[in-house]
């Protein structure tokens, strides 16, 4: 039972100052907070997306502008449904030297224009999606034998209806070589191309990759916040790379955390991007539903992406890879994910999304600012 009295003052369209009094809580993060008078609730500028019943992915299950659990000193920023650490550094774009989602050369200023003014959702059309199945840490050197399924996103992050027909990669699929991951063979990892027909644009989608041959080689992976705008269509085609997660990849990550993966629960792995789909450093992230671990961040070594726990305590947040994660959530529960960044000295909500996890699987989420369907 949480006893809490909050006095809320509207300070601006995007900022609410909250003074909280907490007496007890079942929240595992809760303690005896002393700094609640300095709390800030961060909202989307010019839009009450975090309010009960608002439209878009957050939906009616997001209970209030102020998260339902207690505010504490280590996570004093209320961002939609989750309490988040106070970011200590300015948001910065990842360098152009990254192989995936780095800034275009010379374009170093983070773009969060879609947070204040999201794009307009268009009329869906049917396209063919093609892209490559990226390997994560390189333990599995060839992404052949991966099944790809695309689903519409359901209510509260649930899996919706299957669209089109599943595609499978094999040794004859077109490929490219990844020769930069540390764990790839000397001649590189092989990333296979998939092609998937009859996919709707302007629709929230989830891409599921899995082991096509039940060979014990690939872990189930659910890629959330996939959205193809009509503007991205070229010749009835859309390009999108997704992930193939090797069976040993989760264990490689969890070994650095001193914990293990539960076969009855699910893992969360995410990236924070700006509206230009470029990774950003300095973002702090949390979820409203507490996993068995705190949200952690990865270091900045793209050749060997592993958790770096030194980034959590001081509130440094994401490295230039933008990667975060948490372990062992229960399946079938809406999990609200929020990210906050310091932009021009001001705290700002830069992404919020609802996902679910699946037993023995990884849920992937790239926050990409505010999506066209995240409106009132």
Query: Does the predicted TM-score (pTM) go above 0.85?
Result: yes
- Which of these ranges, 20-29, 83-92, 166-175, 195-204, has the smallest mean pLDDT? 20-29
Q: Exposure of 11 by Cβ count < 10 A (0-12 exposed, 13-18 middle, 19+ buried)?
A: exposed
CB 238 within 8 A of CB 201: yes
Q: How confident is the model at residue 257 (pLDDT cuts 50, 70, 90)?
A: confident
Q: How confident is the model at residue 100 (pLDDT cuts 50, 70, 90)?
A: very high
Residues 258-274 have a mean pLDDT of 93
Residues 103-117 have a mean pLDDT of 93
* Model confidence pLDDT, tens digit, residues 120-163: 999 999 999 999 999 987 667 999 999 999 999 998 899 999 99
Q: What is the dihedral of CA 292, 296, 301, 302, to 10 degrees?
A: 70
User: What is the model's pLDDT at position 376?
Assistant: 56
DSSP 38-104: G-EEE--TT--TTSTT-SSSS-TTS--SS-SSPPBTTB-EEETTEEEPPP-SB-EEPPTTSSSSPPP
Q: How confident is the model at residue 41 (pLDDT cuts 50, 70, 90)?
A: low
d(CA 272, CA 298): 12
Burial state string for 259-286 with b = 16 or more CB within 10 A and e = fewer than 16 = eebeeebbbbbbbbbbbbebbbbbbbbb
User: What is the model's pLDDT at position 315?
Assistant: 81
| Model confidence at 118: pLDDT above 90 | no
User: What is the model's pLDDT at position 243?
Assistant: 96
| Model confidence at 219: pLDDT above 70 | yes
| Model confidence at 11: pLDDT above 50 | no
Residues 212-238 have a mean pLDDT of 96
d(CA 101, CA 250): 22
* Residue that is written with structure tokens 């209970």 in the block: 63
Q: How confident is the model at residue 82 (pLDDT cuts 50, 70, 90)?
A: confident
* Model confidence pLDDT, tens digit, residues 308-320: 999 987 789 999 9
User: What is the model's pLDDT at position 28?
Assistant: 38
Distance from chain centroid for Cα 181: 22
- Residue 272 — φ and ψ, nearest 5°? -105, 120
- Which of these ranges, 43-57, 152-166, 335-349, has the smallest mean pLDDT? 43-57
User: What is the model's pLDDT at position 52?
Assistant: 53
* Residue that is written with structure tokens 């374009």 in the block: 107
């Amino acid at each position: 039972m949480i006893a809490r009295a909050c006095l809320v003052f509207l300070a601006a369209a995007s900022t609410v100052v909250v003074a909280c009094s907490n007496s007890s809580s079942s929240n595992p993060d809760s303690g005896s907070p002393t700094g609640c008078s300095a709390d800030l609730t961060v909202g989307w500028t010019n839009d009450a997306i975090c309010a009960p019943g608002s439209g878009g992915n957050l939906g009616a299950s997001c209970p209030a502008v102020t998260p339902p659990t207690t505010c504490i000193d280590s996570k004093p920023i209320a961002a939609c449904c989750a309490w988040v650490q106070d970011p200590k550094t300015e948001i910065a774009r990842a360098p152009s030297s990254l192989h995936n989602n780095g800034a275009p050369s010379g374009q170093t200023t983070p773009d969060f224009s879609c947070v204040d003014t999201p794009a307009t959702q268009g009329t869906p059309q049917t396209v063919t999606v093609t892209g490559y199945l990226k390997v994560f840490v390189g333990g599995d050197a060839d992404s052949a034998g991966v099944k790809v399924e695309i689903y519409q996103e359901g209510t509260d992050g649930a899996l919706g209806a299957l669209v089109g027909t599943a595609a499978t990669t094999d040794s004859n699929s077109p490929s490219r070589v990844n020769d930069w991951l540390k764990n790839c063979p000397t001649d590189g990892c092989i990333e296979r191309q998939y092609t998937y027909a009859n996919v709707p644009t302007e629709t929230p989608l989830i891409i599921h990759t899995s082991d096509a041959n039940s060979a014990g080689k690939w872990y189930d992976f659910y890629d959330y916040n996939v959205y193809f705008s009509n503007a991205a269509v070229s010749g009835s085609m859309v390009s999108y790379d997704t992930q193939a997660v090797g069976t040993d990849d989760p264990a490689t990550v969890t070994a650095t955390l001193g914990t293990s993966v539960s076969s009855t629960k699910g893992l969360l792995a995410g990236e924070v991007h700006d509206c230009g789909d470029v990774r950003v450093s300095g973002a702090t992230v949390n979820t409203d539903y507490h996993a068995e671990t705190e949200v952690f961040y990865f270091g900045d070594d793209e050749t060997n992406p592993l958790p770096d726990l030194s980034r959590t305590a001081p509130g440094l947040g994401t490295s230039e890879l933008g990667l975060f994660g948490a372990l062992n959530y229960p399946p079938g529960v809406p999990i609200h994910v929020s990210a906050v960044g310091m932009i021009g000295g001001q705290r700002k909500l830069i992404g919020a999304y609802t996902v679910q996890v699946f037993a023995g699987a990884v849920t992937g989420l790239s926050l990409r600012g505010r999506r066209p369907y995240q409106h009132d």
